[in-house]
Structure 1
Amino acid sequence: MRRRLVISYLLLMVLVLLALETPLAATLATRETDRVRADRLADATRVASLAGPALRGGGPGPLDAELAAYDELYGIGAAVVDRDRRTVAASVSWKFGPGADAALNTALAGQQFSGPESVWPWVDGPVLVAVPINDGGEVLGAVVTATPAGKVRHTITTWWLLLAGIGLLAVLACVSTAFGLAGWVLRPVTELDAVTHEIAEGHRTARVRPRLGPPELRRLAASFNNMADVVSDVMDRQRAFVAHASHQLRNPLTALRLRVEELGPSLTDADGRAEHRLALEETDRLATVLDALLTLARAEREENQRVTVDAAAVAASRVAAWLPLARHRSVALHLDMATAPVYARTVPTAIDQALDALIDNAVKFSGAGGEVTVTVRAADGGTALAVRDNGPGMTASQLDQATERFWRAPDVQNVDGAGLGLTIVAVLVDASDGRLTMRQGEPRGLVAELWFPAPEQAADAPAGADQPADSAPVRA
């Protein structure tokens, strides 16, 4: 945008200079030509006054000496011609060149002639002047002079170069002023753009300096800062509310569960025990929802802190933790990874919680006889983890909604869950500057892939990190 502003200012300046300097240059050329023409007309008139008696007497008289001295002094060729176009006297350098006949015809007709109107640097040719020789109203002949135009062209060229230099200085001053003016005008816009990107990347404390640029942009900066403060405050209040509500509801929920458990021994009929079991399951489900909300609020709040972890070791520990549940549900859980550490830079516990949510979903929806595979590898300058299952998977439209809060597929409404697992994964991955991609498996199932950036330097890797054992992949 700055370049466009400078170009527009420069174009306007060039147009103004052309509008001013073009007529001025033409005027200077005409003025210098008129000065030379006036001098030559005066000289030719003086010679014409001397040539009258000579033409009446039939001889050149003193004209030869006069024209020779004039040519030697000024370098200007001159000639005296009678009414029959015969040359009566001429200087050494005189030659009948182009345009001399037209000048002579005008003078023999009783009128003075001088040309051209203006001498241009790129046009050759002398300045011609012709004056009639009169005697009692009768034209006896004419005096013709041819002035070399080299000096005139040099003078005009010098004036034009001076004008061009002044114009160039004006253009340079315009460019310098335009850059300064454009920078002053656009500096708030540039800073506003940078701060907007910083806020989008998670730096919610970034603000625009409100004392830059013109008053309109200063007001815009102040309004933007006020808006950012309001949005940040609303987000903080929302997250604080979720965290506080989730935390505060845990205590009465725990007490309620204990009371429901104490009611169990007093129930004797089968229907009462079934209702008792359902009540306990609902309290457990509510506790799971509260834990997920609390985790989500914490994950969104811890957005700038980064730690370096061994993704391979974390994946091995999480697979080992889920093996008992996988065996209980008759699901084969595999871990496929290299034996060397694979480091990633994330927010705290991002890989742990993300794998817990993905493995939980994969084991839950694979069903008896299903198979879940967790892979870890280095890819695209970072660390990639994938959880594959052979369950029912999701449709393309369901994949687009899978990370929305409390969303659950219509065909799994009766399956335990709060609809926050994938939302938490998405928040943790985004806070870690990573990527979460989900796609349909082949021939069936779901593939959830995580990608986290690697540490910027090898020195960022945690010292003494435990390496996974050199044994075969963990399997259930």
Structure 2
Amino acid sequence: MRRRLLLVLLAFSVLAVTAFAWPLLVSTASERTQRFVITRTADLDRIADVAQQAVLEHDNADLRAEVRAYHDLYADGMIVVDTTGKPLAAAGLSMDDPDVPEAVTAALRNQPAVLPHDLRPWSADDVLLAVPIGTDTRVSGAAVLRSSVAAAAADIGKAWALILATALAAAVVCVLLALLLARWVLRPLRELERGVLAVAAGERDAHIGERLGPRELRALAGSFNRMSAAVTAAAEQQSRLVADASHELRSPIARLRLTVDSLHRHVTPDGEAGYRRILAEVEELESLFGSLLNLAAADRTATELAAGAGVEDSCDATELLVERRETWLSAADQAGVRLSAPESDCPVQLALPETELKQVLDVAIDNAIKYAGEGAHVRLDCEVAAGRGRVAIADDGPGLPARDRAVATTRFWRSRRDHASTGSGLGLAIAERLVTARGGTLHVLANVPKGLVVELTVPLAEEAGP
């Protein structure tokens, strides 16, 4: 935003300065060129009058003296000829010089003189001017002047330098004004950004100033403050609700579990089936309660990371996969599932805390052991691919159809095929939330030739400096 605004303001400033400076440069060059031509033409007219008198008196002495004096004073070449082209007086110029015969012919024909183009500071070519000698339409000769434009070009250069210096100063002032204007306009936006980050981090006092910048941004700041207050109040209420629910439900569920367990010795054979159903419901309630708390914790972690307040940590995926294989090996043996760890011992350092990766792996391994079926093989593997760490938990069980894989990480989703089994339907949703909060991805894919793969890719941890 700042860059775009500065570009617009600077472009406008450059156009304004150019629109001011360019006409001045052109008019200055044109005025100095006209003054040069008028001065030299006046000199030629004076010489032409002297030449006319010399033709009438048949005496060229004064004419030669004038031409010589003019050449000595200005160092410009001049030649005066009669109607036959014979020189009457000359100094620094002859009929053999380039363009002189053409200029003499045009002057003898009484044709208008060809004026030079506007001079520039870098102009260096001499200007050739010619006027006829005589009165009215009676031409008795021609006077030709070759004049240097060095002095006029130098004057134009000095004038241009002054104009450009003034334009540069004006451009500097415009740049400073643009910077001040951009700061004035964008300061409320920076305040707004700070407020947004504060709201995302859960800060209570996320209000921003409402007296900065244009009226529209002041109005936006006021709207944001009202929204911030509402969001903060809602977040506090939600956080309080989770805390209160956690505190209020934990004890009743624990008491309910103790009560159900204590009733087991009083259950008759006829009531055994009912007791088992009650026990299963209590276990599912415990699982759901724990999953909801884990999901709330994952959401809180994601919010903190989005606000830049989260804790950065890393872990070795290879080492952790070996450790989790040892932890789940007993459960896998009981389910008749073969569980294998990575074959390579090369470390794969992920930008993911060990506790979070352990939670993600436990969800994926638990699901694989539970649903792959007896005789299945669950493989744990990790590698570095395309500059990121890849961890995969693959099984060769029955897998899931494509429509189910697409929604497997949705909250409270459970496969219709395994609906009778225990579970909250939040495990993969929590795992995905933890992984995506760290800039990674989690996908449920089909294994080849059969089975399922839970694959997560996470940025690699940055190597610590010396």
TM-score by length of 1: 0.75
1:337-392 deviations in whole A, cap 9, x for unaligned?
55687665544632332232222211211223333233456667776543222222
- Displacement of 1:138: 8.8
The verdict on how the C-alpha distance between 1:114 and 1:173 changes in structure 2, with shifts beyond 3 A counting, is farther
Partner of 1:252: 252
Match of 2:106 among 102, 108, 121: 102
Q: Per the alignment, in what secondary structure is the counterpart of residue 73 of structure 2?
A: helix
CA distance in structure 2 between the aligned counterparts of 1:220 and 1:188, rounded to whole angstroms: 9
The verdict on how the C-alpha distance between 1:324 and 1:65 changes in structure 2, with shifts beyond 3 A counting, is closer
CA distance in structure 1 between the aligned counterparts of 2:286 and 2:145, rounded to whole angstroms: 113
Q: Name the stretch that deviates more: 326-335 or 259-268.
A: 259-268
1:420-472 deviations in whole A, cap 9, x for unaligned?
11122223333455443321112222122345556545699xxxxxxxxxxxx
Partner of 2:307: none
Partner of 2:373: 367
The verdict on how the C-alpha distance between 1:141 and 1:367 changes in structure 2, with shifts beyond 3 A counting, is same
Q: Per the alignment, in what secondary structure is the counterpart of residue 424 of structure 2?
A: coil
Q: Does 1:322 align with 2:363?
A: no
CA distance in structure 2 between the aligned counterparts of 1:310 and 1:22, rounded to whole angstroms: 67
- Displacement of 1:289: 0.9
- Displacement of 1:29: 3.4
CA distance in structure 2 between the aligned counterparts of 1:419 and 1:6, rounded to whole angstroms: 52
Equivalent pair of 2:202/2:235 in contact (CA under 8 Å) = no
Partner of 2:356: 350
**What CA RMSD, in Å, does the superposition of the two structures yield over aligned residues?**
4.2
Match of 1:333 among 329, 332, 339: 339
Q: Name the stretch that deviates more: 163-172 or 294-303.
A: 163-172
1:253-290 deviations in whole A, cap 9, x for unaligned?
333444455655665563x4322321222122112111
Partner of 2:299: 300
Q: Does 1:428 align with 2:434?
A: yes
Partner of 2:140: 141
CA distance in structure 2 between the aligned counterparts of 1:245 and 1:59, rounded to whole angstroms: 127
TM-score by length of 2: 0.77
- Tell me, which stretches of 5 or more residues in structure 1 are unaligned? 108-112, 461-476
CA distance in structure 2 between the aligned counterparts of 1:393 and 1:425, rounded to whole angstroms: 19
Q: Name the stretch that deviates more: 338-347 or 158-167.
A: 338-347
CA distance in structure 2 between the aligned counterparts of 1:459 and 1:142, rounded to whole angstroms: 93
CA distance in structure 1 between the aligned counterparts of 2:139 and 2:379, rounded to whole angstroms: 122
Q: How do residues 52-451 of structure 1 correspond to structure 2 at under 5 angstroms?
A: 54-60=54-60, 62-78=62-78, 84-85=83-84, 87=86, 89-96=88-95, 97=100, 98-106=102-110, 116=115, 118-121=117-120, 122=123, 124-128=125-129, 130=131, 132-134=133-135, 139=138, 141=140, 144-150=143-149, 151-171=151-171, 173-175=173-175, 177-178=177-178, 181-182=181-182, 185-186=185-186, 189=189, 203=201, 205=203, 210=209, 214-217=214-217, 219-220=219-220, 223-224=223-224, 227=227, 230-231=230-231, 233-260=233-260, 268=268, 270=270, 272-302=271-301, 303=304, 304-306=310-312, 311=317, 314-336=320-342, 346-347=352-353, 349-375=355-381, 384-451=390-457
Identity %: 34
**Partner letter of residue 360 of structure 2?**
A
**Partner letter of residue 285 of structure 1?**
E
